[in-house]
């Protein structure tokens, strides 16, 4: 099991970057994604996040923000890092 301070990395699969952020934080919290507070859209525009990351095509771009008590970074290659 991960420690509360560990990072999680998610590969760039068929899911969108915003979906990987929400599911990753929900997994860390041990809750369903729908029950996260605040919802992701209250912190960052999910469509804009997806558009920037999916359009980047490389790891030259990184978007970082705080969400639900976590420091989240999303790289242009689609990887998501979630730190407590």
71 vs 58: CA distance, rounded Å: 21
- Decide which of 67 and 4 is more confident: 67
> What tokens does 55 get?
């359009």
For the chain, the domains span 9-83
Residue with more model confidence, 9 or 54: 54
What is the per-residue pLDDT for 1? 43
pLDDT of amino acid 4: 59
pLDDT for 32 equals: 97
22-60 confidence digits (pLDDT tens): 999 999 999 999 999 999 999 999 999 999 998 877 768
Dihedral sign computed on CA atoms, order 45, 43, 16, 51: positive
pTM of the model: 0.84
Q: Of 24, 7, 6, whose CA–CA distance to 15 is shortest?
A: 24
Give dist(CA 13, CA 17) in Å, integer.
Answer: 9
CB atoms within 10 A of CB 64: 10
More confident site: 1 or 6: 6
């Amino acid at each position: 099991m991960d420690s509360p301070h560990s990072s999680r990395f998610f590969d760039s699969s068929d899911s969108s970057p915003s979906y990987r952020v929400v599911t990753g934080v929900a997994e860390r919290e041990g809750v369903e994604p729908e029950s996260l507070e605040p919802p992701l859209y209250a912190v960052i525009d999910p469509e804009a996040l997806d558009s920037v990351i999916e359009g980047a095509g490389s790891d030259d771009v990184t978007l970082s923000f705080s969400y639900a008590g976590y420091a989240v970074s999303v790289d242009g290659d689609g990887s998501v890092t979630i730190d407590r």
